[in-house]
Amino acid sequence: MNELIEYAHLHGITSFISLYHAKYRELRQRHPTLPSHYIVTACRYAASIYESFIELKKMGVCEKERPTFKGQAIWLHKQLFKLDVEGWKVSIAAHRGRWVTLRLLHGRYHDRFKDMKLGEAWLVLRDDGNLCLNVVFRQTIVLPEIGADAKVIAVDVNENAIVYGNDDFIERFETNEGIIRTRYFLKRRRIQSKIRGKGLRARLLGKYKGRERHRVREIYHRAAKEIINKAREVGATVIMMEDLRRLNEEDKGSRELNGRIHRWSYKRFQQILEYQAKLHGLNVKYVDPAYTSSLCPVCGGELDLSSNGHRLMKCQRCGLEEDRDVIAVKNLVKRHYEEYINTENP
Ligand SMILES: [Zn+2]
């Protein structure tokens, strides 16, 4: 892979076909007993790695001179492996037409893939010494149509909780994400100031960064599961979330670093929830979040901070007093139905 990437870099090649034509014959001669698909696949991935490197470079988010492939992985074309999902074994094509068979560790989680279409795979040797087989599975899901009478559940995410519901119910899932992130932030700062050795410091920082990410992701998965269970229980077919790309300029300026981290987190959670929702046959709809936290969901009047509690908002017009997350959820739900009232051809 690195030889191919190096070659692509030297000759400015980003297309698989060009790289293949330039290197295939030579590599084939050097590895005559290996199935030729290995070379083809390596050319394809090397070209795509170099192509995305060029793109990152254009965007100015990559400082490196050239890309390197650090992982220890073998990409497997469909013809290079046979997966037996009943017996959980994989056979991989090796030298001189032989096949190597590996037994796969698996759990109940993997049973869901049994009926899906098989895509490509790659064999990865991880840092901890474990050998992993990553496989792409595909499934086609037909989602129900969204109509004016569809039952929806709206989801709002704040620093420490995920709030979801509709006009009939509101649920809160405490994530304590802000608390967790602060704790890890302090831990990292202690490491920065106390550990002198550069290598050890980097290793420790990396370890805690990984733990933090893992922990937050695990919480997101639990929250997504709870929301989907609730949606099925109440017969909702649409999950609604804020379209974060549509934040207006005012919002971008007023929220500082905290806001950026929060939006990034929200985005991660949205990806997890969207994937899980679609897998369970639920639609996902993103709506413009403008004014969802500043207007009254009942009368449309302007909201003010209430004097009765720090997360409470009060409507100046109709007197409604409600938690700000609940207001956001109700406004998102309202936005769904408004679409069908305001358009002439619903
Ligand atoms: Zn009101």
| pLDDT, tens digit (0-9, with 9 covering 90-100), for 140-174 | 888 888 888 899 999 998 888 999 999 999 999 99
Q: Measure 272 CA to ligand 1 centroid, in angstroms.
A: 34
Q: In this predicted structure, what is the pLDDT of residue 249?
A: 46
Q: Measure 323 CA to ligand 1 centroid, in angstroms.
A: 13
In this structure, are residues 44 and 52 in contact, taking their beta carbons and an 8 Å threshold?
no
Q: Measure 327 CA to ligand 1 centroid, in angstroms.
A: 11
Q: Measure 45 CA to ligand 1 centroid, in angstroms.
A: 57
CA dihedral of 76, 80, 85, 86, whole degrees rounded to 10? -160
Q: In this predicted structure, what is the pLDDT of residue 253?
A: 47
Q: In this predicted structure, what is the pLDDT of residue 259?
A: 63
Q: Which two tokens stand for residue 12?
A: 């400015």
Which range is least confidently modeled, 43-57, 59-73, 217-231, 244-258? 244-258
Q: Measure 128 CA to ligand 1 centroid, in angstroms.
A: 57
- Calpha distance 79→103 (Å, rounded): 19
Q: Measure 147 CA to ligand 1 centroid, in angstroms.
A: 27
- Calpha distance 301→314 (Å, rounded): 10
The confidence band for 246, taking pLDDT boundaries of 50, 70 and 90, is low
Q: In this predicted structure, what is the pLDDT of residue 81?
A: 94
The confidence band for 341, taking pLDDT boundaries of 50, 70 and 90, is confident
Q: Measure 304 CA to ligand 1 centroid, in angstroms.
A: 11
Q: Measure 338 CA to ligand 1 centroid, in angstroms.
A: 17
Q: Measure 254 CA to ligand 1 centroid, in angstroms.
A: 25
